[in-house]
A and B are shown apart, each in its own frame.
Chain A
């Protein structure tokens, strides 16, 4: 495979950029949980049902763990499945097309987290720090 020196440099940075992707996705995802329980950054529009309570815990705890990169693969597995369920429950019935049923973000979260199961948390994560000292 032809690899230029530029490509090799970019490949060298990939584990860190992977961490950046993980952190950004985790922050955005966690905001949904914080909205449910803390009204931050905006209050939740309807009273919480038990289902939303559970969803909020998954979002807050899962997002926080993914943010610091702790147990990335199992957490990502849970969150990926969570988003798949959410998509088929809340978005798919409205339309076949994600852009029409508002499910773009759910799908993107689902597959970003799915990717994290396999790729791990990247170099900037608690997982990586623990692996080095192990």
Chain B
């Protein structure tokens, strides 16, 4: 492994934290849209199921943002996105490009990766709980 590769690898855990934070911020928006119509109103009709989804998003995203209980929260959010994909997108087409489910899939697999990789060094899990 060249020295450039080694240097990059050394920074990978911190960039993992960056990815976690960015994904959490984006996902937080989804919850805010559903429950607070901020910054825009949802483009779909709100049903009790969507209110439940919004609640999960609003609780899970801040936890993921600060990196607290990263693995279980990421597992929950990953599952929520998988559920959302198969319910709201997959019935319309096999192709995510056509059924507009790309974002759900991306979130699902980013969170899935966080389950196995943890939150990275910039997280409450690592800093306060001394565990990953």
Contact = CB atoms under 8 A, between A and B. Distances in A.
Size bracket of the A interface: 35 or more
Contact of A112 (B102, B110, B118): B110
Contacts of B26: 98-99, 104, 107-108
A107 to B, nearest CB: 6
A3 interface: yes
A21 B109 contact: yes
Nearest to A20: B109
Contacts of A35: 97
Q: Is the interface of A mostly helix, strand, loop or mixed?
A: helix
Contact of B12 (A7, A112, A119): A119
A131 B5 CA distance: 12
A118 B11 CA distance: 6
Nearest to B8: A118
B9 interface: yes
Contacts of A32: 97
A41 interface: yes
A18 interface: yes
B123 to A, nearest CB: 12
Given A11-B132, A24-B109, 9 more contacts: A14-B113, A17-B116, A41-B95, A99-B40, A111-B19, A115-B12, A118-B9, A120-B5, A131-B1
